[in-house]
Structure 1
Amino acid sequence: MEMQGEERIAARRDIVWAALNDPEILRQCIPGCQSLELKSPTELSASVKIKIGPVSASFSGDVVLSNINAPESYTISGEGKGGIAGFAKGGADVILTEDGDDTILAYEAKAEIGGKLAQLGSRLVGSSAKKLAQQFFADFNAAVSAQAAANS
């Protein structure tokens, strides 16, 4: 399953870049995130609880940042195991483009699931994944824009 989109964020690119690398901001914005801990500058461990259709699942796994081109772009990828619910893995290429005092955050994401979640059907899982991605980027936008406004 593939998703793409973009968000206009009312903050300079360096502020958006710093937020994309801040585990506390990411934890607040990832839907259902229970914990997100920095293991190294490019590795994090995460625990997320989500509900897709009739299935609730808790996933734990690792997140890796690669192809880092600060402050313009990186690839974020992860893999989580949800016990009987199955597994989820995926990644996103994130690109930040300056537009005056704003930043355009564009993303292209791919996700793959298996186990009980995969049995729900691709339409339900796909629409849920898109909704979760949109929620993350909207929450991220609000958090970063508010932080930038408070600091200006």
Structure 2
Amino acid sequence: MKMTGEREIAAPRETVWAALLSEEVLKECVPGAQEVSGTPEEGFDAVVTQKVGPVKATFKGRVLLTDMVAPESLTLSGEGKGGAAGFAKGEADVTLEETEGGTRLVYDVEAKVGGKLAQLGSRIVDGFAKKMADQFFSRLEEVIEGPKPDDEEEVAEKKGWLKKLIS
């Protein structure tokens, strides 16, 4: 299955680039991530728990960053194995374009699943994959931009941690 999308992020392109390469940001943004460790050069190991339809599984996998052209584009490739539930594989080509208000992040994602997951049917799996991509890039936008003026204090404090880290 293939998906494309874009996000407008109110931050400089270099900040968005740094966030995409950060272990802490990836752990915060990948839905269901329990552990993320590694480096952009060596790749990241991840443990992610997800429920797709009636199937709940913990996936152990690896994410590699390739074709990096700082701060313009990169490819995120990942593969996870969830035991009896099957496997998930995906690749996202990400492009960062400077805009008047910050950065436009454009992504093209291709994903594949196998095992019990593939037996769920393409509507369920496609919907789940789209939801995961949307959640990842929405969360990335929130983490980078920090709190909005109308956020409650507790939510605002959680959203502003990346700016504190970069400052």
Q: TM-score, normalization: structure 2?
A: 0.86
Pick the structure with more strand per residue. Answer: 1
The change in CA–CA distance for 1:120 and 1:65 in structure 2 (over 3 A counts) is: same
The alignment-based identity, stated in percent, is 50
Tell me whether 1:32 sits opposite 2:7 in the alignment.
no
Deviating above 4 A after TM superposition, structure 1's stretches of 4 or more consecutive aligned residues are 147-152
Helix, strand or coil at the partner of 2:104: strand
User: What's the C-alpha RMSD, in Å, of the aligned pairs?
Assistant: 1.6
How many residues align structurally?
Answer: 152
Q: Secondary structure at the match of 1:127?
A: helix
CA distance in 2: counterparts of 1:124 and 1:91, whole angstroms: 19
- The answer to whether 1:3 aligns with 2:3 is yes
- Corresponding residue for 1:126? 126
SS at match of 1:16: helix
Higher relative contact order (CA 8 A, sep 6+): 1
Label 1:118 to 1:66 Cα distance change in 2 as closer, same or farther (>3 A).
Answer: same
> Where does structure 1 lack aligned partners over 5 or more consecutive residues?
none
- Aligned residue for 1:96, secondary structure, equals strand
Point out where structure 2 has 5 or more consecutive residues left out of the alignment: 147-159
Could you say which residue in structure 1 is the equivalent of 2:153?
A: none
Deviation track 1:121-148 (CA, whole Å, cap 9, x = no partner) reads 0010000110111011111000001157
- Whichever residue aligns with residue 127 of structure 1, its letter is G
Amino acid of the structure 2 residue aligned with 1:55: V
Q: Deviations over 1:95-141 (max 9, x none)?
A: 00000241000000000000000000001000011011101111100
